[in-house]
Amino acid sequence: MKKTIVLKNIGLPFTASAEEAVNTALIRAKKSGVNASKGYIYKRSVDSRRRDDIKFVYSVALECEDISEKQLRVLDAVLEKESYIPPEHGSEPLYKPPVICGFGPCGMFAALTLAEKGYRPIVIERGSDVKRRREAVDLFMKTGILDTECNIQYGAGGAGTFSDGKLVTRISDPACRYIFKRLVEFGAPKEIIYDAKPHVGTDKLLNVVEAVSERIISLGGTILYDTKMTAVNRRAGEVVSVGTTKGEIECGALLLAIGNSARDTYRYLIGEGYDIENKPFSVGVRIEHLREDIDRALYGDNAGDPLLGAAPYAFSKRVGEAGVYTFCMCPGGEVIAATSMEGGVVTNGMSYYARNGINSNAAILVSVNPKDPIEYQEFLERAAFEAGGGEYYAPVQTVGDFFDSREGTKPVRIKPTYMGGKVRTYDLNRIFTKDISDMLRLGISSFDRSLNGFAARDAVLTGVETRTSAPVRINRTSELLAVGTTNLYPCGEGAGYAGGITSAAADGLRCASALISRYERKYQ
């Protein structure tokens, strides 16, 4: 029986071709007495620790007839993990369609899986479809007119649609590779399957989301946009219907994939007595540098080489129980206005597939665990709105001024990209508590030792970043059901079980699989 093995740590000059990497793997296998064939790139990352000798480090998959544990160790190889396979349906009768609340990555993959298994799910999404959503976001960016139900947080594809489509994840799950392959099937770049830091790009992701939507509908699924869930109607713990702004919808089961910004839904669920607990989350700012400065700091004389592209980074620093880290780094991207609340300012990062913008940016975040996390998020966002002077202008500050606890130095060399420059200088120390400001300064100083110029005094900070993860968790049982319910599946980032596009999609698959394994469709 043929097996697929993955040979790791094949380092070659970044100018070498993928074919050279495969041939290197085949030669290594042959020397170890393994008869292998049909090689392909499984994973590729950049090793830029030596700027004068930048390498691509490959993992290469090979097919072989048989291999021993000893040969695997000698080859520095592992057997390929089995990919995700949707389960066969269960035997418990399902008399009404499953309803999915939310069409971000979690809801999208749950709906796709259920549709492809014949369950004809009904999706309700408070925001709009791709076309209408793009129009609403463009209008807000140009005029400051905010649609609180259709924006960068709400709508087809979820918040990730307008944040570059970064697929980097810390989870180790065979479902991740399956998710990447499915995204490619719907139009994402092929390299996301093997890049260590895959990204789709907002410009391409919009089309991917639309293609997935069309697939779900073609299989008998229904997607109701501009439809907000207002109630979950239960009898003896069983969800029988959901109330929406467009009427009541009967359901056989409910998958709750609401995303991490649905504060009104959180408050409704808390008021209804669901088992929900506060969880730590992170707050901070966006930092912007010139892309060419970051590229040169990481790649040296090779900066600008199209084979390398714009340089990414990721840093973290811990002091006792406290930590500060970079998140959602956008090479060649821009800082975007990501609020869904009137009178609040929220930042996020976005880049297009080409990643050829003038600046590179990332969030710098500090973990917090306030007594009332939802109120704390809103407090910071309102404070940022007021600091910006209204009209959704954002407060900005140079790193030099932030360290000196003063304001007034206007960014010159590095221009803020937020809403095309709708910013106001302000001392961000006045928004955050002292311990958060101190950790941000510690992080910037520490990261500068790894990336020369990170703490440049004219680098620009924009506040605030508050929507990195859910502030609460909807507790669920080992069967993935909300505690005290028989057919409600809280899932994804909004339920507190994921931390990005890929992990949210994986949890959507997990919950859809739980439903499929349990139920047999009995409705027409």
- The rounded percent of the chain whose pLDDT value lies above 90 is 90
Residue 341 confidence (pLDDT) above 90: yes
pLDDT at 24 (0 to 100): 96
Average pLDDT over residues 340-366: 96
Tokens 């991490």 sit on residue? 260
Which phi and psi angles does 214 have, rounded to 5°? -60, -35
Residue 171 confidence (pLDDT) above 80: no
Residues 417-431: pLDDT tens digits?
999 999 999 999 999
pLDDT at 60 (0 to 100): 96
Residues 444-484: pLDDT tens digits?
999 999 999 999 999 999 999 999 999 999 999 999 999 99
pLDDT at 332 (0 to 100): 97
Query: Three-state SS string across 151-175, please?
Result: CCCCCCCCHHHHCCCECCCCCCCHH
pLDDT at 278 (0 to 100): 96
Residue 106 confidence (pLDDT) above 90: yes
Are 401 and 357 in contact, with CB atoms under 8 Å apart? no
pLDDT grade for 325, boundaries at 50, 70 and 90: very high
Residues 271-291: pLDDT tens digits?
999 999 999 999 999 999 999
Average pLDDT over residues 205-224: 97
pLDDT at 210 (0 to 100): 96
Residues 108-120: pLDDT tens digits?
999 999 999 999 9
Residues 244-261: pLDDT tens digits?
999 999 999 999 999 999
- For the whole model, what pTM was predicted? 0.95
Residue 163 confidence (pLDDT) above 80: no
pLDDT at 418 (0 to 100): 98
Q: What angle do CA 256, 259, 265 make, to 5 degrees?
A: 65
pLDDT grade for 2, boundaries at 50, 70 and 90: confident
pLDDT grade for 140, boundaries at 50, 70 and 90: very high
d(CA 222, CA 217): 6
pLDDT grade for 161, boundaries at 50, 70 and 90: confident
pLDDT at 37 (0 to 100): 84
pLDDT grade for 363, boundaries at 50, 70 and 90: very high
pLDDT at 337 (0 to 100): 97
pLDDT grade for 313, boundaries at 50, 70 and 90: very high
pLDDT at 474 (0 to 100): 98
- Of 491, 499, 426, 434, the closest CA to residue 464 belongs to 426
pLDDT grade for 169, boundaries at 50, 70 and 90: confident
Q: Burial level of 81, CB count in 10 A (0-12/13-18/19+)? A: middle
pLDDT at 57 (0 to 100): 97
Q: Burial level of 37, CB count in 10 A (0-12/13-18/19+)? A: exposed
pLDDT at 321 (0 to 100): 86
SS3 20: helix
Residue 413 confidence (pLDDT) above 80: yes
Tell me the average pLDDT of the chain.
Answer: 95
pLDDT grade for 174, boundaries at 50, 70 and 90: confident
Residue 305 confidence (pLDDT) above 90: yes
Are 31 and 90 in contact, with CB atoms under 8 Å apart? no
ω into residue 464 within 30 of 0, thus cis?
Answer: yes
Residues 22-79: pLDDT tens digits?
999 999 999 988 888 889 999 999 999 999 999 999 999 999 888 889 889 989 999 9
pLDDT at 200 (0 to 100): 93
pLDDT at 82 (0 to 100): 81
pLDDT grade for 437, boundaries at 50, 70 and 90: very high
Are 249 and 148 in contact, with CB atoms under 8 Å apart? no
d(CA 184, CA 382): 39
Average pLDDT over residues 157-175: 83
d(CA 384, CA 365): 16
- The rounded percent of the chain whose pLDDT value lies above 70 is 100
pLDDT at 120 (0 to 100): 98
pLDDT at 345 (0 to 100): 98
Which residues are paired to 359 by β-bridges? 290
Residue 131 CB coordination number (10 Å): 11
